[in-house]
Amino acid sequence: MMYTLTTWSKGGYRRYEALCVSWPDVANVLGHDHEGSPEDDAVLLAALRTNGAPHWIADADGAIDETGWYLIGPEIGDAA
């Protein structure tokens, strides 16, 4: 399962670690398009764990956009 580690912004000023799985990869893992069900989410989480995703995915909030299915992790502290 392919995923990308990235960041997610809330309100334009708070940034969070994030993980994105593209819609084509979601469909490849599930065998169908994501239907928004908890069962689909559980399958994706299991696949991510098997493929070395960060530990924080277990308690992460979810989000979607046109690029894919996201898990939103810990806030990134201000380096300044």
Could you tell me the residue ranges of all domains in the chain? 4-75
Q: Over the stretch 43-65, which tens digit does the pLDDT of each residue have?
A: 999 999 999 999 999 999 999 99
Q: How confident is the model at residue 12 (pLDDT cuts 50, 70, 90)?
A: confident
Q: Return d(Cα 52, Cα 33) in angstroms, integer.
A: 23
pLDDT of residue 2: 92
DSSP for 9-53 reads EETTTEEEEEEEEEHHHHHHHHSS---S-HHHHHHHHHHHHHTT-
Q: How confident is the model at residue 78 (pLDDT cuts 50, 70, 90)?
A: low
R_g of the chain computed on alpha carbons: 13
Rounded average pLDDT over 3-29: 93
Sort residue 24 into left (φ over 0), alpha (ψ -120 to 50) or beta. Answer: alpha
Q: Over the stretch 20-44, which tens digit does the pLDDT of each residue have?
A: 999 999 999 999 999 999 999 999 9
pLDDT of residue 80: 45
Q: Return d(Cα 53, Cα 57) in angstroms, integer.
A: 7
